[in-house]
Structure 1
Amino acid sequence: MVQTLATLLAVTALAQAWIYGLLVVNRSRPLDGTLVAWSYAITWGLGVVSVAMVIACLVAFVAWFRHHRERAYADNDRIDPRPGWHLAVGSLVPVLNLVAPAVFVHELANCGHQLPADRLVRTLRLWWAGWVALNLLAALTLVIRFTADSIQWGANAVLLTVLCDAAGAVFALVSVRLLHRAFDPAARGEPATRWLAV
């Protein structure tokens, strides 16, 4: 599902880049109305599908997260202290989901993981920083897009949308790889000791 999301976001970024190109060309000469109408219709359609896919991936993430937390706590003869609705609300509600997933992931990391502890903490901090940066970029893009009062600011919003979609695609792929390597028992564990030549 995440691979599909990443592909969809990449295609959406290309469609937005096409719109930006049309805006640049339109500065010097008029464009065919049919071409513009189809371009905007396709771009908006891709945008709606992308948002729906992001929500679907977040819901799948909550289910994955709950399953792995239950297993990790059970392996330590404990019960996950957080009910499922805590995970759902913390991961799906805007603004709250800037902080809560990082807390949830760190709790899971304390129960069981495949990476060395020092590397895991650093990796999870980078992941969380990337998540916050992506959300801030998305918020900035939405604010500029809906408050743009000139053609130039409209074009800037389109360019920011290209960057946001591309960053979202990369973040989705990196997140899946990271979470799989850190928490999936089937992933190859890395040695905690590094031997150096003296």
Structure 2
Amino acid sequence: MPPRALPPGPVACPSCGRPVAPGWGPCPYCARQRASLRWVATPPPGAGPPPAERPRRPYTGPPSYRGVPRWGFPALPFLRETGPEPVADWVRARALAQTLVPALWATAAVALLAAGAEIWRYVLLVMSRSGALSAGVVSASDMLVAGAGWLVTILGLLTGLLVVGWSVRASRAAAERAGRVPSRSVREIVVGWIVPVVNLSVPGSVLAEIEHGALDRPADERPRLSRQLLVWWAVWAVGVVLAVTVFALSFRTGVQARADGVVLHALVDLVAAAVAVLTAERVAALSLLLGPVRAPVRETLVTVRAGD
């Protein structure tokens, strides 16, 4: 606002507040400089008097309504709640592999224990042909065979469910990585792992397709199996055939049938341990390959040329 001149009478000192004569110079009381002009704030023309302050009412609590209020925020897109982002299939497959691989190693260890129990029982059968055996040794052998057999069966079923679930996730991840639609549905993969005779070919084909997509090979090219996968497929087929054979021969009776059953059960347990170890190796390797390719974080100096 423009400065306005002080009236001719005495004015108050801006520092000490005492009345002094208008003009420039130090105050006779506080010795500070004074000004003969002062700034006065006035409202703009036509603004009128300032509004009077409304008296504050005492707080009576939160507002209440007789009915449901009809006012509210508009349903705009930025106000809508969005669900969590979908997790990629390769992430799910890798997370499942972290549980599956230790379970496979545990199954292999229990299968070896069951095979050792069957071999011990066969040794006792051979020794019983020439003399009597101790009741405690026979009881311990029977308990070890029964306990290890039930434990390897339960672990095998649980691990099998994890393998099927992992193969479903890994198959989708491999198809997404290759930019194509999965060649098999979830039902076909599950049936291919469970149904006898069919599970001789479908599991190997599923793992071959997963390996093909994980290695970024062309989608229109026929999958070429690696040596590790061929070994796994051969051992898996031997295990399936041997398990079906043992189940079919379990209905025979007689001493020789029991002796043959002990040998066959030991072979089944040994093959099961081999399948578990090879499956753990394939699951761990393929789970790492299904992830995105990471860019190098830094450059590495390989050689230094003379004169550089």
> Shorter chain as normaliser: what TM range?
0.7 to 0.9
Higher-Rg structure is: 2
Identity of aligned residues (%): 26
Unmatched segments (≥5 aa) in structure 2: 1-102, 294-308
The aligned counterpart of 2:130 is 28
Cα shift at 1:72: 1.4
Question: What's the CA shift string for 1:77-120, capped at 9, x where partnerless?
Answer: 333243322211211222221121122222323322389x9973
Q: State how far apart, in whole Å, the 1-side matches of 2:182 and 2:216 are.
A: 19
The aligned counterpart of 2:265 is 161
The structure where helix makes up a greater share of residues is 1
Change (3 A) 1:110 1:54: same
The answer as to whether partners of 2:193 and 2:199 remain within 8 angstroms in 1 is yes
Query: Match of 1:8, as an amino acid?
Result: V
Q: State how far apart, in whole Å, the 2-side matches of 1:10 and 1:29 are.
A: 29
The answer as to whether partners of 2:208 and 2:223 remain within 8 angstroms in 1 is no
The aligned counterpart of 2:239 is 134
Q: State how far apart, in whole Å, the 1-side matches of 2:196 and 2:105 are.
A: 23
Cα shift at 1:134: 1.4
Q: How many residues were matched structurally?
A: 186
The answer as to whether partners of 2:235 and 2:271 remain within 8 angstroms in 1 is no
The answer as to whether partners of 1:113 and 1:184 remain within 8 angstroms in 2 is no
Greater length-normalized contact order (CA 8 Å, ≥ 6 residues apart): 1
Query: Alignment partner of 1:79: what SS?
Result: coil
Q: State how far apart, in whole Å, the 1-side matches of 2:113 and 2:188 are.
A: 34
Question: What's the CA shift string for 1:123-147, capped at 9, x where partnerless?
Answer: 4333222211111122223333431
Query: Match of 2:187, as an amino acid?
Result: W
Q: State how far apart, in whole Å, the 2-side matches of 1:128 and 1:159 are.
A: 23
Q: State how far apart, in whole Å, the 2-side matches of 1:120 and 1:142 are.
A: 31
Unmatched segments (≥5 aa) in structure 1: 190-198
Question: What's the CA shift string for 1:50-101, capped at 9, x where partnerless?
Answer: 1121111111111111111121112233332433222112112222211211
The aligned counterpart of 1:101 is 203
Query: Match of 1:184, as an amino acid?
Result: L
Cα shift at 1:122: 4.3
